[in-house]
Amino acid sequence: MMGAMAFRELTPVAFLERAAAVFGDRPAVVDGNLRYTYREFWARAQRLAGLLAESGIRPGDRVAVLAPNTHVLLEAHYGVPLAGAVLVALNTRLAAPEIGYILEHSGARLVVVDTEYRPLLEQALDHIDDRPEVVDSQRYGSLLEATRPHRTDVADERSLLSINYTSGTTGRPKGVMYHHRGAYLQALAMAYHAKLDTSSRYLWTLPMFHTNGWCFPWAVTAAGGVHHCLRKVSAEEVWRAVHAEGVTHFCAAPTVLAMLADYSGATAPARPVRVFTGGAPPWPALLEHMGALGIDVRHLYGLTETFGPAVVCEWQPEWDDLPADQRARLVARQGIANVVAEPVRVVDTEGEDVPSDGRTPGEILLRGNDVMLGYYRDDEATAAATIDGWFRSGDLGVRHPDGYVELRDRIKDVIVSGGENIASVEVENALTEHPDVLEAGVVGTAHPKWGEVPVAFVALRAGASADERELIDFVRERIAPFKAPHRVNFSELPKTSTGKLQKNVLRQWSAQPGHGPPSPE
């Protein structure tokens, strides 16, 4: 009896139940002309759970959602776990074969799809044998109205809440398993660091399919703020929402911030807007520019495997009086562990912690309640990502004397473009499928808008005649278009004496004028 009195399983769904009781008549969701309160939000989530239960979904079953940042995907973050099921939010930017692979690998039994993406889903279903049931967003609203509420209580807070798929260095998406406890605590951390409250109006610029929107679908609700859904991100619409809707918070990759900074109609709002950025290090000049526009940018660091931001660049009051350029350099660092995370380690190749000198590099290790359960159906990958009870980030960083961590390079050959990860091996595999291509190497190079973009170096077969445009189009037909190389260079590829491709040389070449190998003297 004492145990029952002193312990309850943690789940982020509880935030909505509480919000319905405390903030029942307050606005909860704005999605175009659709607006409803927290009491209505809670009712809709329970009816979605009922719809899933009536469709034969049982606890533990996987339910996929292919939709942009609309109320449908937001409600799924509550309705799916209320049915006891596991949410699989699908990246709308992926190609049909990639979506098909995720549906098959996850074993999704039902897919809720936005009408705009129905053709993409149908193409994806052509790649799998076991077709799941499909609920189109055109029928979604009427189906909810005709369905009775339902809920399944969480029996184990470390049970599976969602699976977020991310491309690893092998190019095959890996399913990162989130548990209820981690999402609950991470949501509280985000609400705390973002300083969310009932006056907050959060704009959905960050895709909810990306690490469950850094757990903000639950964080905003915990604070009783308003979710402003955004189907497509544009500078005009974001600035309109800031000024006309009174948006106070949003999250975005540095590329989105650059787009907002360059917008001709950008003007500072009446009160500062707090923004979290991550996915790639923001450049100090961008942070300084955004600050001048009334956008208070805070830098975060994390991975899909850490429920999003495990590290935050916590602002120190002593920084207030520093010159703007110096402040920008400080906030461009990744920072320290968030309020629910374990302290971050930076270790050398022997597993020893590096000195806090801001110079000695090491691999960033993380652990704690906001770290994944592992990779779904992939024990080998889970073991490879773990060392002595710590998660290996695969990122190189340094620790400064004040304890703040700063990234210096990536161990993995992953290209971060617009906040999305691109596995270079995946692009290389697509290129080498072309009959004219003998071998290929892909690296990332700096880009003013996207942060990084893929650049390819290709060796053609003897007598082959494929050109740059042909190869780029060839890749775009096979994988998500945003992963395709922005430039293709034709040359013999540099290799070590053992025949290993020298990607460090390719990176040097990509920085040369013309993005290719230097001309012979």
Do 362 and 348 touch, CB atoms closer than 8 A?
A: yes
Helix (H) or strand (E) holding 181: helix 180-194
pLDDT at 324 over 70: yes
- pLDDT for the residue numbered 428: 83
pLDDT band for position 494 (50/70/90)?
confident
Neighbour-count burial for 103-142, b at 16+ CB within 10 Å, e otherwise: bbbbbbbbbbbbeebbebbeebbeebeeebebbebeebee
Average pLDDT over residues 246-252: 96
Whole-angstrom Cα distance, residue 295 to residue 253?
14
- pLDDT for the residue numbered 516: 60
Task: Give the pLDDT confidence of 135-185 residue by residue, as tens digits.
Answer: 999 999 999 999 999 999 999 999 999 999 986 434 578 999 999 999 999
State the distance between the two ends of the chain, measured CA to CA, in whole angstroms. Answer: 83
- pLDDT for the residue numbered 350: 92
Provide CB contacts within 8 A for 429, sequence distance 6+. Answer: 171
CATH architecture of the domain formed by 337-404: Roll (2.30)
Please tell me the least confidently modeled range out of 123-132, 244-253, 509-518: 509-518
pLDDT band for position 426 (50/70/90)?
confident
Average pLDDT over residues 387-394: 94
Residue 392 φ then ψ, to 5°: -85, 115
* Residues 180, 182, 186, 188, CA torsion sign: positive
Average pLDDT over residues 264-271: 91
Whole-angstrom Cα distance, residue 489 to residue 478?
20
- pLDDT for the residue numbered 497: 37
* Comma-separated ranges of CATH 3.40.50.12780 domains in the chain: 9-232
* Comma-separated ranges of CATH 2.30.38.10 domains in the chain: 337-404
Average pLDDT over residues 471-482: 93
Whole-angstrom Cα distance, residue 370 to residue 179?
9
- pLDDT for the residue numbered 68: 97
Do 169 and 423 touch, CB atoms closer than 8 A?
A: yes
- pLDDT for the residue numbered 496: 46
- pLDDT for the residue numbered 142: 96
Average pLDDT over residues 309-337: 89
Average pLDDT over residues 117-137: 96
What is the residue-averaged pLDDT of the chain? Answer: 91
Please tell me the least confidently modeled range out of 76-85, 101-110, 258-267, 305-314: 258-267
pLDDT at 133 over 90: yes
pLDDT at 104 over 60: yes
- pLDDT for the residue numbered 380: 94
Number of helices followed by number of strands (H, E) in the chain: 18, 26
- CATH topology classification for 9-232: Rossmann fold (3.40.50)
pLDDT at 112 over 80: yes
- pLDDT for the residue numbered 287: 80
Do 374 and 177 touch, CB atoms closer than 8 A?
A: yes
Report which listed range, 220-229, 291-300, 432-441, is most confident: 220-229
pLDDT at 63 over 90: yes
Whole-angstrom Cα distance, residue 224 to residue 515?
50
Neighbour-count burial for 376-398, b at 16+ CB within 10 Å, e otherwise: bebeebbeebeeeebbbbbbebb
Domain 414-510, CATH class in plain words: alpha beta
pLDDT band for position 285 (50/70/90)?
low
Helix (H, G, I), strand (E, B) or coil at 191: helix
- pLDDT for the residue numbered 411: 62
Average pLDDT over residues 32-57: 98
pLDDT at 498 over 80: no
Report which listed range, 141-155, 281-295, 505-519, is most confident: 141-155
* Comma-separated ranges of CATH 3.30.300.30 domains in the chain: 414-510
Closest of 398, 332, 343 to residue 366, by C-alpha? 343
